[in-house]
Structure 1
Amino acid sequence: MQGIQHIIFDLGGVLLNIDYQLTHKAFTDLGIADFNTHFSQLHADSLFEDLETGKVSEEEFLEKIKEHLPEKTTNEAIITAWNAMLLDYPVARLQLLQQLRQHYNLFLLSNTNAIHLAAFNTILEKSRGISSLASFFDKTYYSHLVGLRKPGKEIYQLILDENDLRPEHTLFIDDTLPNVEAAKELGIQAIHLQAPKTILDIFRK
């Protein structure tokens, strides 16, 4: 951590526990017979990327998903299935953020969408009594709100420029390798967090 003054955290798989298989199961239970085939096609159609960059609204996303589900499937059922992957915030990770903020500028950078943003803040409020992740950071960057997503270099550069950060004094932590590699190409110090390691292992000393 020598020379590091600023830390940028990914969210899912770093601070928030997630399990994509739970969303897989939830949509299968709703009636999608071949989840992987349908969702691979929707990825190819850029639906998810467009959702994460704000090009597709929540309503448009729900209507597109309904095309692959039984006719009477409700929006609420789809949202519940979509959010099934979002689990919990281990309290030790939140405590670590509070400790780190006394010594570093902290930022959050997440590829996410409006449906998940509402859900993971609700999880935080119900479990910890804290209304928003924003309380742990100097600033939060959500892909659907800024119109950019990882691993595009533009979103990293936006954080550097808006906050006057020097990349060599900045650490980025993410559980997805292409995101880490993109940050490194801009001169940012970066760590690829791989399970079973957690951020507690990085800062244990």
Structure 2
Amino acid sequence: MQGIKHIIFDLGGVILNIDYRLTSQAFKDLGAQNFDELYNQFHANSLFEDLETGRVTNGDFLASIKEHLPEGTTDEQIVHAWNAMLLDFPVARLQLLQQLRNHYDLFLLSNTNAIHLEALNKQLERERGIPSLASFFDRSYYSNLIGYRKPEKESYQVILDENGLKPEHTLFIDDTLPNIDGAKALGIQTIHLQAPKTILDIFRKG
């Protein structure tokens, strides 16, 4: 951590526990028996990328998914299945963020979408009485709002530029290797967080 003044955190798998398999199973329970193939297909035709960069609306996304589900499936059922992967915010990680803010500038950089973002903030308020993730960071950057996804260089560059950060004084923590490589390409210091390690292990003294 020598020389580090600013830390950029990923969200899912770093601060928030997630399990993609739960969303896969939830869609299969709705009748999409080929959801894993469908998910890959939608990645190939950019539906999910467009959702995560704000290029398609929630309504268009839900309509596209609905075409592959039994007639009568509601938007609410789809949203519930889509959010199934979102688990919990371990309180120790949130406490760590609060402590780190006394020593570093903290930023959040997440590939996410409007549906998940709304659910996450509602969950945080319901479980912890905290209105939004913004409470833990100097600034938060979400792909659906900035129009870029990791590992696109622009997603990191916007944080550096808007906040006057020098890459060599900036640490980026993510659990996905391509995202780590994207940050490294700009000279940002990185830590590839791999389970079972958590951010608590990174900052544990001694």
Corresponding residue for 2:20?
20
Deviation sequence 1:157-194 (CA, Å, 0-9, x none) = 11000000000000000000000011011010001100
The AA in structure 2 aligned to 1:58 is N
Distance 2:87 2:166 in 1: 34
- Trace 1:2-151 onto structure 2 (pairs within 5 A): 2-151=2-151
Q: Report the alpha carbon displacement of residue 103 of structure 1 after superposing the two structures with TM.
A: 0.5
Q: Report the alpha carbon displacement of residue 33 of structure 1 after superposing the two structures with TM.
A: 1.5
Q: Which runs of 5+ in 2 are unaligned?
A: none
SS for the counterpart of 1:84 is: helix
Q: Report the alpha carbon displacement of residue 122 of structure 1 after superposing the two structures with TM.
A: 1.0
Distance 1:169 1:38 in 2: 41
Percent of aligned pairs with the same residue? Answer: 74
TM-score by length of structure 1 reads 0.99
Distance 1:26 1:103 in 2: 41
Distance 1:38 1:6 in 2: 39
Deviation sequence 1:92-134 (CA, Å, 0-9, x none) = 0000000000000000000000000001111111110001000
Distance 2:175 2:52 in 1: 18
Corresponding residue for 1:160?
160
The AA in structure 1 aligned to 2:165 is L
Q: Report the alpha carbon displacement of residue 42 of structure 1 after superposing the two structures with TM.
A: 1.1
SS for the counterpart of 2:85 is: coil
Deviation sequence 1:54-75 (CA, Å, 0-9, x none) = 0011000000000000110000
TM-score by length of structure 2 reads 0.99
Q: Which runs of 5+ in 1 are unaligned?
A: none
Corresponding residue for 1:175?
175
SS for the counterpart of 2:197 is: coil
The AA in structure 2 aligned to 1:154 is E
The total of aligned residue pairs comes to 205
Deviation sequence 1:3-48 (CA, Å, 0-9, x none) = 0000000000000000000000000000001111221111111000
Q: Report the alpha carbon displacement of residue 196 of structure 1 after superposing the two structures with TM.
A: 0.2
Q: Report the alpha carbon displacement of residue 153 of structure 1 after superposing the two structures with TM.
A: 0.4
Distance 1:36 1:88 in 2: 23
Corresponding residue for 2:186?
186
The two structures, once aligned, show a CA RMSD in angstroms of 0.5
SS for the counterpart of 1:81 is: helix
